[in-house]
Amino acid sequence: MDLTTLYYVLAVVLILVGLAGVILPALPGLPLVFAGMLLAAWAGDFQQIGWVPLVLLGLLTALSVAVDFFATVVGAKRVGASGKALFGAAVGTFAGLFFGPIGLFAGPFVGALLGELWHSREIGQATKVGLGTWLGIVLGVVLKLGLAFAMLGLFLFAWVF
């Protein structure tokens, strides 16, 4: 296997791991996708992918980072979440990784709920905060999936044409 092929294989691995990271919160999803695409462009001496598609892909990646941050915060703040609820959501997201797909979806909710209860609020408010935080995270994942498909489409379009 020559070095260029190795670079392409590594680029595909980065893209696939990045796509998994769109759903798994412990991985920087779309930045990994972008890194894989950049590596593929570099491995091909930027013949198939030029600077214009790379700049657009970079902007979509930056947008994904902003979406990731703001979707969770806006979802939580909109329902009056405390800082402890946000901290709980982050811990719950990480802890949920160890419990498979159910943990990935339940972890942020449970973490935000417990964080809000820790903040000494009533169970009704804590539940509302947990759901708001969870909905923000889910909305963020949906938006990042859309960005991921847009990035893949742009990359493939630039590669072929």
From CA 158, how far away is CA 161, in angstroms rounded?
Answer: 5
From CA 76, how far away is CA 66, in angstroms rounded?
Answer: 15
Match 């920087």 to its residue by tokens: 28
Query: Which tokens hold the place of 60?
Result: 């979509």
pLDDT at 69: 73
pLDDT at 99: 86
Q: Give how far the C-alpha of residue 150 lies from the chain's centroid of Cα atoms, to the nearest Å.
A: 14
Spell 94-129 as b/e; 16+ CB within 10 A means b: ebbeeeeeebbbbbbbbbbbbbbbebebeeebbbbb
Q: Where are the domains of the chain?
A: 3-160
Q: What is the CA radius of gyration of the chain?
A: 19
pLDDT tens over the chain, length 161 residues:
799 999 999 999 999 999 998 887 667 899 999 999 999 999 999 999 999 999 999 999 999 888 877 777 777 777 888 888 888 888 888 888 888 878 877 888 899 899 999 987 788 888 888 888 888 888 888 999 999 999 999 999 999 98
The tens digit of pLDDT for each residue in 72-106 reads 777 777 788 888 888 888 888 888 888 887 887 78
pLDDT at 11: 97
From CA 97, how far away is CA 144, in angstroms rounded?
Answer: 19
pLDDT at 59: 96
pLDDT at 47: 92
